[in-house]
Amino acid sequence: MRISTFSVIVAIVGVAVGLRAQDFKKQVIYQVVTDRFFDGDATNDNPAESPGLFDATHTNWHAYWGGDLAGVQQKLAYIQGMGATAIWVSPVVNNENLNCGGSVVSAPYHAYWNRDFMNVEEHFGDNSNSFAALDALVTAMHAGGMKLIVDEANNHSNPDNCGENGALYNQGAFMASAANDANGIFHHNPDIGDFNDRYQLQYLTLDDLTDLNQENSTVDAYLKGAAAQLQAHHVDAFRLDAVKHVTWGWEYSFANAVFNNAPSFLYGEWMQTNTSDPLYADSVKFANRSGISLLDFPLNTAIRDVFGYGNGFQEIDSTIGTENASFTSPNDLVTFFDSQDESRLLTLNNNQNRLQEALAFLLTCRGIPIVFYGDEQYLFNNSTGSDGNPGTDPYNRVWMSAFDTTTAAYKIITKLAGLRQANDAVGYGTWKQRWISSDVYIYERQFFNDVVLVAINKSDTASYPVTGLYTALPVGNYTDYLGGLQSGSALTVTAGSGGNNPAGNFTIAPHSVAVWQVQANATAPEVGSIGPWVGQPGMTVTIAGDGFGVVKGTVLFGSTAAAIQSWSNTSVTFTVPSVSSGSYNVQLKNSVGAAANTIAFTVLTGKLVPVTFTVNNATPTQPGDYIFVTGNTVELGSWGTTFQTAVGPMLTPNYPNWFLNVSLPAGQTVQFKFIDIQGNGNVVWENGTNHSYTVPASGTGAVNVNWQY
C-alpha cells in the first residue's frame, strides 16, 4: 500500500516536470495528418453534420478517409516506441461542412478550412463537436510524458468561392462570410500576386482562403480565445499555419497571450526557399523578436537537394552557417525534410539508404526534428499532384498502411531520439563542421563536455579516405552509437590540444552513418535553453540544462533575482521579475553561488496589445527606402534606426501614407517618431517633438498622425 502510494506520487511529479512545455529542444516531433493516420472511431467516419465527404475506399484523395484523434491515441505505443516525445496533429477545430468539389468530393480532410475555431471537427472527434476525444488523447499522452502540438490556422477561415464561402462561427453562432460581413471580420482583397510584397502577403488573400482581419477587435479576441481554450484543454504547443500571411505585428501579441496563458512553445510556417530569399531578414526579425520559432524551410530545401537530388553537403553546411548567425536560438528552429506540402523524399529519390541517412542527419542536426508520419515505413505515392509534379499534394498525404516497428528507419529514429534525451549536445549543443566533401559530412555537436560526432557518407557505391579529422571527443575508442544500423564503424581518438584531438585516418564506407558520443557529468551549472525568450514581468519562463543541483539557487536579471517556481538539477521555472524592459543576459547560479553561462532574454514593458500605426503624407521615398517607426520602449525598438532594430518596414498601399500593426505594452504611454531608412542605410527623421500615445489596456488600438515636416 505504502509502496503503491509512493509510486503514484513519483509518477505525478514526473508528469508535472514533463509538462513544462517551454523547453522543446529535447523533443522529437512526429507529424500526423490526422485524417490519414488511423481510424480509431468508426462512428465519426460519415457524421450527420457533414455527410457524404467520406471515402471508405481511400481512392478519392480529396475526401475524408477516416483517421481521427482516437486513432492517434490508439497508436501512441507505436509512436512513443519510435522515441517521438511530441505529436503535431492537423488543426483540430471544426472545418467547413459542404463539398468544395463537384461530383468528385473535395473536403477539408487536411483540416485547414476552418468554420468554427471554438469546437472540434466532427470527423476527428464526435458528432457533438465536443472536446472529449482531444481530452482523452492529451490525457493519454501526458500520462506517458508526451506533448501534443496542435496546428492553428490564424490566417483564414475556408475558401471564399465554394462550400460555405468563408462562413465563420463562434460556438455555432454565425459571425461573417466572404459575402456577408457587416463588421469587417475579413479583408476582402484579391489573391496574393507578388509573394515578395510585404503588404500583399499580410493583407491579400492566400489561395482563395477568406482572409481574417486580425486588427478587428472581435477577430483578435476570437483567435486568442480559441488558442486559450485549447490551452485550457492542456494542449502543450502550437504549430502556427502561414505566419507569413497573418498580420506580423499582431502575431507578437498572439504569442504573448499564449505564453501568458500557460507554458507553451510556438513555431510558425514561414515558407521560403533559402537564406537568399528577399524576405529572409524579415523572417529572422520575426522569430527573434516575437518569440515564435520557425519551421526551418531553408534547411528543408538544402536537405532535399542533398539527400534527394544529389547536391553536395556544402549546401547544408552553408545554410546552417548562415542561419546560426542570424537566429537568436537556432536550436529552437524546427527541422524537417518531408511535410504535407511537398513530395516525399522517396519520390525525389527512391533510395531507402538515402532516407535513413537523411533521418539520421535530421535527428542529430541542430534544431527540433520532425519525422513526417509514414517515412519510417517508406511510404510514398508518385501520382501527379495538383501542382503537376509527382508525389505532391494530395499524394504526399498517404494512408498510414503499416505500423512495422522493425524497419531500419524506425530503429534509427528510436536510437537517435533516445540520444537526444541522453546527451545534451544534441538538443543544446553548438554546431561545428569537422570534415566535408560532396558526399561526406562530418559534424560535431558540443554542450560543455558532452560531445556527439556524426559522420555520413551518402554515396551508394564509393568509399572515401578521411584524413586529418579532429574532434572534441576525449582520447579513447568509440563504437558506433547506431550499432551498425547504417554501416557505421568505430573511431579511435588520440591526444591533441585545444579541444582538437586527432581522430585518425580511416575509410568511410558507402551509404553509412556513424555516431560517436560521450556524455559527461556536469561539474558546474550549464545552461542550454530558455523558453520563451521574450516576455514581460510576471511571465513564467523555464531555463533548462544540467548541473543546477537539487537545492534551489538563483536566477538573476541584472542584480534582480527572479521568484523561483520550481528547481531541479536540469530545469528551473521562474517568474520574470519587475525589471525595466530591455535585453538581459540572464544568469543562473546554483545554491552555493557557482555561475552558469548566461542566456539572452528580452523583457517587454508589459503584456502586448496590437496597435495599427498610420503616418500620412510621409517624406518622399526612393525605391529601396522604407518608413519605419521607432520609439522609447523595447517594443518600439528603443529608438533603433536599423532594419533589425526599428519597427517595420511599414506598408504603403496608399503611398505616401504608410501603416503598420505593432504590438505594444498594454496601458503604457509611449513616445515615437517615424523615420525613413534609405536603401544605403542613411536615416531621415521626421521633425518636431515625439508623438505620444497611450496604449489601451486590452483589445486593439490605432494611431493616425501626419508626418511632421
Q: Can residue 343 be called a binding residue for ligand NOJ (CB under 6 A)?
A: no
Size of the site for ligand NOJ (CB under 6 A): 14
Q: Look at the block and give the residue holding cell 506580423.
A: 248
* Residue 622 CB, nearest approach to ligand NOJ (Å): 6
Q: Which residue is catalytic, options 269, 315, 323, 526?
A: 269
- Per residue in 433-449, is it b (16+ CB within 10 Å) or e — as a string? bbbeeebbbbbbbbbbb
Q: Can residue 498 be called a binding residue for ligand NOJ (CB under 6 A)?
A: no
Site string for ligand NOJ, 150-169 (x = CB under 6 A): ---x----------------
* Residue 627 CB, nearest approach to ligand NOJ (Å): 8
By CB under 6 A, which span of 429-437, 487-495, 619-627, 697-705 interacts with ligand NOJ? 619-627
Q: Give the residue, chosen from 41, 164, 269, 315, that forms a contact with ligand NOJ under the rule CB under 6 A.
A: 269
Contact between 378 and 356 under an 8 Å Cβ cutoff? The reply is no
CA 641 to chain centre: 29
CB of 70 or CB of 243, closer to ligand NOJ: 243
Q: Give the residue, chosen from 242, 416, 472, 530, that forms a contact with ligand NOJ under the rule CB under 6 A.
A: 242
Q: Look at the block and give the residue holding cell 493519454.
A: 140
Q: What is the layout of strands, in order, in the sheet containing 440-447?
A: 430-436, 440-447, 450-457, 512-518
Q: Give the residue, chosen from 97, 275, 457, 652, that forms a contact with ligand NOJ under the rule CB under 6 A.
A: 652
- Per residue in 526-554, is it b (16+ CB within 10 Å) or e — as a string? bbbbbbbbbbbbebbbbbbbbbbbeeebb
By CB under 6 A, which span of 10-18, 250-258, 384-392, 617-625 interacts with ligand NOJ? 617-625
Q: Which residue is catalytic, options 241, 282, 376, 686?
A: 241
Q: Can residue 625 be called a binding residue for ligand NOJ (CB under 6 A)?
A: yes
By CB under 6 A, which span of 125-133, 287-295, 344-352, 620-628 interacts with ligand NOJ? 620-628
Contact between 438 and 450 under an 8 Å Cβ cutoff? The reply is no
Q: Can residue 621 be called a binding residue for ligand NOJ (CB under 6 A)?
A: yes
415: part of which helix (H) or strand (E)? helix 408-422
* Residue 604 CB, nearest approach to ligand NOJ (Å): 29
Q: Give the residue, chosen from 119, 335, 340, 364, that forms a contact with ligand NOJ under the rule CB under 6 A.
A: 340
Note if 269 is an active site residue. Answer: yes
How far apart (Å, rounded) are the C-alpha atoms in residues 260 and 116? 24
Q: Beta strand pairing status for 470-471 and 440-447?
A: unpaired
How far apart (Å, rounded) are the C-alpha atoms in residues 466 and 502? 12
CB of 618 or CB of 695, closer to ligand NOJ: 618
Q: Give the residue, chosen from 461, 622, 680, 689, that forms a contact with ligand NOJ under the rule CB under 6 A.
A: 622
Contact between 63 and 107 under an 8 Å Cβ cutoff? The reply is yes
CB atoms within 10 A of CB 417: 23
294: part of which helix (H) or strand (E)? strand 293-294
Q: Give the residue, chosen from 110, 198, 458, 673, that forms a contact with ligand NOJ under the rule CB under 6 A.
A: 110
Q: Give the residue, chosen from 188, 322, 341, 568, that forms a contact with ligand NOJ under the rule CB under 6 A.
A: 341
Q: Can residue 647 be called a binding residue for ligand NOJ (CB under 6 A)?
A: no
Q: Give the residue, chosen from 30, 38, 65, 112, that forms a contact with ligand NOJ under the rule CB under 6 A.
A: 112
C-alpha cell at 693: 500615445
Dihedral of alpha carbons 400, 405, 407, 412, sign = positive
Q: Could you tell me which residues are beta bridge partners of residue 513?
A: 456
Q: Can residue 618 be called a binding residue for ligand NOJ (CB under 6 A)?
A: no
Q: Can residue 241 be called a binding residue for ligand NOJ (CB under 6 A)?
A: yes
The footprint of ligand NOJ (CB under 6 A) covers: 110, 112, 153, 241-242, 269, 340-341, 621-623, 625, 652, 655
Q: Which residues are catalytic?
A: 241, 269
